[in-house]
Amino acid sequence: MNHLTDTQLQGLADGTLRGPEGLAAREHCDSCGECGAELSLYSALAGKLSALRDPDPPADFTATVLAAVQVREAQLATRRHTLLAALPACALALVAIVGWGLSAQVDKLIDSFTALRTVVGVAGPVFAAMRLPLGVGAFFFLALVLTALSRTLRPVHARAAES
Ligand SMILES: [Zn+2]
């Protein structure tokens, strides 16, 4: 019989080589000094390998994972807040468009009433006077929306500063 291959010797050493083949290999090792020496080497190696343990995870493993999760949650929260912040911005844009259209209507009204001024002399100045309150109202609404916007965004900035 030929000498055993490395695969056969390893199989004998770790116990995966069984049956008649394993028996024959074992018998060869008993009678052949060369293969017997190799087998004892592989057996010693197999014993050392099975004695190895998986390395312990780093001590701060849990903390690191939790920190990563928190960063991810903060990013999701930022995205949610951005969406929320977009709502007042959309409302602002809508009001601006409506206000602009309304302002144009008032201009037209003033024009037509200016034409009627000869008949109703008071109406023109009244509508002209309405333009100032309208502008002031639009300004206050803008300030209100901007305040709401900054309040919506503030928690995100605070959280970003913490981490
Ligand atoms: Zn041999």
- Residue 90 CA to ligand 1 center (angstroms) comes to 85
Residues 16 and 95 in one domain: no
Total domains in the fold of the chain: 2
Residue from 34, 48, 36, 32 nearest 12 by CA: 36
CA of 51 to the centre of ligand 1 (A): 28
Domain range for residue 46?
A: 6-51
Q: Evaluate if pTM is beyond 0.75.
A: no
134 and 114 in a single domain? The answer is: yes
Domain identity same for 88 and 33: no
pLDDT tens digits for 32-69?
999 999 999 999 988 888 888 777 777 888 888 888 89
φ and ψ at residue 55, rounded to 5 degrees: -65, 145
CA of 147 to the centre of ligand 1 (A): 88
The angle subtended at Cα 65 by Cα 160 and Cα 162, nearest 5°, is 20
Higher-scoring residue by pLDDT: 20, 55: 20
Residue 1 included in any domain:
no
Structure tokens that stand for 157 in this block: 């900035």
Same domain, 69 and 148: yes
User: Ligand 1 being an ion, which residues bring their Cβ within 5 A of it?
Assistant: 3, 32, 34-35
The 10s digit of each residue's pLDDT in 60-109 is 888 888 888 999 888 888 888 888 878 877 888 888 888 877 877 777 77
Considering only CA atoms, which of 145, 126, 135, 125 is closest in space to residue 102?
135
